[in-house]
């Protein structure tokens, strides 16, 4: 079972989003080996651009060789769930794993965006980190359910 990792800036906090995330983690466990990792937020003394670049460096240091890199980015490509399912499974088959990245409060630096295999958007709106992670977990589960032919997704 290949790993799917979620790498974020800032540690996930417990709470109402955490309980929902636990639900999707449990559902996903039958399809993927889900791993979650995080890097520290950069110093608030830095400018927003410097923060993005410092965090990009930290994130790239945690990216494992051979993993597909998918960055969540509001300027990325939005897609239907079936399209996402096909793309995700194609990346899983071609790589040793898949690493999804959720940036800090100012987004992702150019260095990591340029190295991404895919920039993925859940739409043009900005989401809080905890909510973005929850939506990502649900969409990864939906993609796996579509691939497995489960009656979870309705067109």
Query: For 3-148, which CATH class?
Result: alpha beta
Per-residue model confidence (pLDDT) at position 78: 95
Q: Domain-by-domain residue ranges, the chain?
A: 3-148
Q: From CA 97, how far away is CA 6, in angstroms rounded?
A: 11
Per-residue model confidence (pLDDT) at position 14: 66
Q: From CA 12, how far away is CA 38, in angstroms rounded?
A: 8
Per-residue model confidence (pLDDT) at position 36: 94
What is this structure's pTM?
A: 0.94
Contact 38, 13 (CB under 8 A): no
Low-confidence ranges of the chain (pLDDT < 50): none
Per-residue model confidence (pLDDT) at position 152: 92
Per-residue model confidence (pLDDT) at position 29: 95
Q: From CA 148, how far away is CA 139, in angstroms rounded?
A: 14
The two tokens of residue 2 are 């290949």
């Amino acid at each position: 079972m290949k790993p799917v990792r979620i790498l974020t800036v800032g540690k996930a906090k417990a709470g109402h989003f955490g309980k929902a995330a636990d639900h999707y983690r449990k559902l996903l466990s039958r399809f993927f080996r889900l791993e979650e990792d995080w890097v520290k937020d950069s110093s608030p003394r830095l400018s927003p651009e410097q923060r993005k670049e410092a965090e990009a460096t930290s994130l790239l240091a945690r990216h494992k060789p051979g993993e597909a890199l998918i960055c969540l980015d509001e300027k990325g490509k939005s897609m239907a769930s079936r399209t996402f399912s096909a793309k995700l499974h194609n990346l899983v088959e071609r790589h040793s794993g898949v690493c999804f990245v959720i940036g800090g409060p100012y987004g992702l630096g150019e260095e990591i965006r340029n190295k991404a295999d895919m920039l993925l958007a859940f739409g043009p709106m900005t989401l809080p980190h905890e909510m973005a992670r929850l939506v990502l977990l649900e969409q990864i589960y939906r993609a796996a359910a579509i691939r497995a032919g489960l009656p979870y997704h309705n067109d």
